[in-house]
Amino acid sequence: MAENMPSLDEWHRLYKAMICVKEIAPWGWMTETDVFGVQSPETDELGFVSVMGLLGEHFSVAVYLGPMGLYDFWEFEDAGPSAPAEHIVEISHLQASFEDRNQLHNKDRQIIKELGLKFRGQNAWPMFRSYRPGYVPWFLEAHEARFLAVVLEQVLVVAPRFKEDRTLLEPPGQDRYLMRVSQQQDDAFSWEDRIVEVPPPDPQPIPLAMDIEALEHLKQAPRSGSTIEIDFFLFPAPVQEERGTRPIFAYTLMTVDAQSGFILGTELLHVDPSLESMWGQIPAYVVTQLARTGLVPAKVTVRSKLLFELLEPVAEELGFKLNRSDRLRSLDPAKEAMLRRFT
């Protein structure tokens, strides 16, 4: 892991840019939906920049990576207050924020010390983190630090222009964005504006797994009049498989009898190797949990659209009614009790 860490010069550039961002305080006139793009001079990767802090509570700059990161961000925004806060860690992005000193890790404080920098007060200490779906927010790798420094430097260019011209980040046409693109001239880069269309990416396929033996067993099992509730959610306690590696989050699949509140099953799943592959395992786990009870319910209630879509084929095969509800009356207390116990 050490060879992927930013050098002291790379850290210096990043902190210098962040200090300059604080001096101009772009959150005074930009909202998080005033998005523009930056193309990485190193890899041509697209990042989409969002400035947060207009309400004066949390000052940060996020760069959402690629079209997938961008549209995951818009989906999170569109969901509004109903979006679970933990969904932000499932969006691929880099974030530079100002925090209180006690929010920093010892590694952050050590870097600041080595750079000879001093910060005082609340929301005054720069912190940089990398977000990857299924993983704990973690320290930047070298290429991430270089890109984030470029992004912050472009914030220093674009934000003052946007303050003077509020139409700057409203290119004509749907799915079009102001993109800052560089060209190398000798040993330096020159930057220019381009208007780039960024359509929504095609959905990633979800390879569905199934326990065929358990499914066939359930087809012959007695029908019951019961209702069960099922939820799939991020378990906030991180798991570190090997010291020094990036910790991962576990996800919990919980099944509860709606009448009694009895927990019929819980399964822990991990992102391995992707969110899609993890989601694809859910129908097989649900069938296995039902097979343990030996009964097919009359109705299954789930919370999320994703879980509903994953279980539709199972509902058709077994003949139970599938519903969605934001509130799971029996499962929610069990979920809250589990989270209190382990966190």
138 in the same domain as 16: yes
Q: Say yes or no to pLDDT of 148 above 70.
A: yes
288 in the same domain as 172: no
150 in the same domain as 219: no
183 in the same domain as 255: no
What average pLDDT does this structure show over 77-93? 85
257 in the same domain as 151: no
pTM: 0.90
User: pLDDT tier at 1 (50, 70, 90 boundaries)?
Assistant: very low
Q: What is the dihedral of CA 328, 334, 336, 341, to 10 degrees?
A: -170
Give percent of the chain above pLDDT 70.
97
Domain with residue 248: its CATH number is: 3.30.420.10
pLDDT at 240: 66
Last residue of a domain, one of 197, 225, 257: 197
142 in the same domain as 12: yes
Last residue of a domain, one of 145, 169, 197: 197
319 in the same domain as 184: no
Q: Which domain holds residue 136?
A: 2-197
158 in the same domain as 18: yes
On whether the CB atoms of residues 194 and 181 are closer than 8 A, the answer is yes
227-246: per-residue pLDDT in tens? 999 999 998 778 766 677 88
What average pLDDT does this structure show over 251-265? 96
285-327: per-residue pLDDT in tens? 999 999 999 999 999 999 999 999 999 999 999 999 999 999 9
134 in the same domain as 21: yes
Last residue of a domain, one of 174, 197, 220: 197
| Token pair listed for 331 | 């499962």
Residue 237 located in a structural domain: yes
Domain tally for the chain?
2
Residue 77 located in a structural domain: yes
pLDDT at 342: 77
User: pLDDT tier at 221 (50, 70, 90 boundaries)?
Assistant: very high
12-62: per-residue pLDDT in tens? 999 999 999 999 999 999 999 999 999 999 999 999 999 999 988 899 999
292 in the same domain as 264: yes
217 in the same domain as 192: no
Residue 53 located in a structural domain: yes
272 in the same domain as 159: no
